[in-house]
């Protein structure tokens, strides 16, 4: 892992960044490309923190970037980059997860459309995804905004779990209130190669 800490003050508000250094892959070049992409994301996060800290009247702010490996099977490396941010005196922190998936052999970042098996294409239309969302346990538990009738465009934030299932994830406030937390929708469709 690579770690860094940026900024400090007497109240301990800082930016902490942790991201993986990919040391093994089928090809050394693939590992280098993946590591470069992840380090760029970490650098952007730290730079954003630095800019926000210098804005006039900006509150003391703590920000964390970390990760969780969801799938690492030699074909795919799928991670969730998670962020946590708290501004002094705010009612609550903001947090979220961004999925990022790589082809472990080439180091190329993959979109979920790259992973859909031909026989599952009909499950990844906007209508099919909305139907799954609106009949999920989240809908049964009133996790969505009361006026939410479905997505207007295809989601982008996804990851692949260790069993190969493709998941879409939605941040707090994206399709439901903060109290609903993150919404993680298992498509019940596996990525190519599983």
159 close to 167: Cβ distance less than 8 angstroms: yes
Section 93-97 average pLDDT: 87
Q: What percent of the chain is predicted at pLDDT more than 90?
A: 57
Q: Which of 2-6, 72-76, 154-158 shows the highest mean pLDDT?
A: 154-158
In whole numbers, what is the pLDDT of the chain averaged over residues? Answer: 88
Angstrom distances, CA of residue 48 to CA of 42, 64, 65, 86, 192:
10, 12, 12, 14, 35
Section 169-193 average pLDDT: 95
| Chain segment 2-56, per-residue pLDDT in tens | 566 655 554 666 778 887 776 565 578 888 899 889 988 888 888 888 888 777 8
Question: How is the beta sheet containing 158-160 ordered, strand by strand?
Answer: 158-160, 165-170, 183-190
């Amino acid at each position: 892992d690579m770690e860094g800490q940026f900024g400090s003050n007497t109240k301990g508000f800082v930016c902490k960044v942790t991201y993986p250094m990919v040391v093994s892959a089928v090809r050394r070049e693939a590992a280098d490309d993946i590591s470069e992409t992840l380090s760029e994301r970490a650098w952007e996060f730290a730079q954003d923190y630095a800019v926000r800290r210098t804005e006039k009247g900006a509150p003391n702010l703590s920000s964390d970037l970390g990760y969780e490996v969801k799938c690492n099977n030699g074909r795919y490396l799928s991670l969730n980059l998670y962020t946590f941010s708290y501004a002094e005196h705010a009612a609550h922190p903001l947090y979220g997860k961004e999925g990022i998936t790589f082809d472990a052999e080439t180091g190329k970042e993959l979109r979920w459309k790259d992973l859909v098996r031909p026989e599952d294409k009909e499950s990844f239309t906007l209508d099919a995804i909305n139907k799954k969302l609106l009949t999920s346990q989240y809908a049964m538990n009133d996790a969505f905004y009361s006026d939410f009738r479905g997505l207007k465009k295809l989601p982008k934030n996804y990851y692949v779990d260790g069993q190969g299932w493709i998941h879409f994830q939605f941040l707090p406030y994206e399709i439901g209130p903060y109290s609903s937390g993150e919404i993680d929708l298992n498509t019940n469709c596996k990525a190519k190669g599983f």
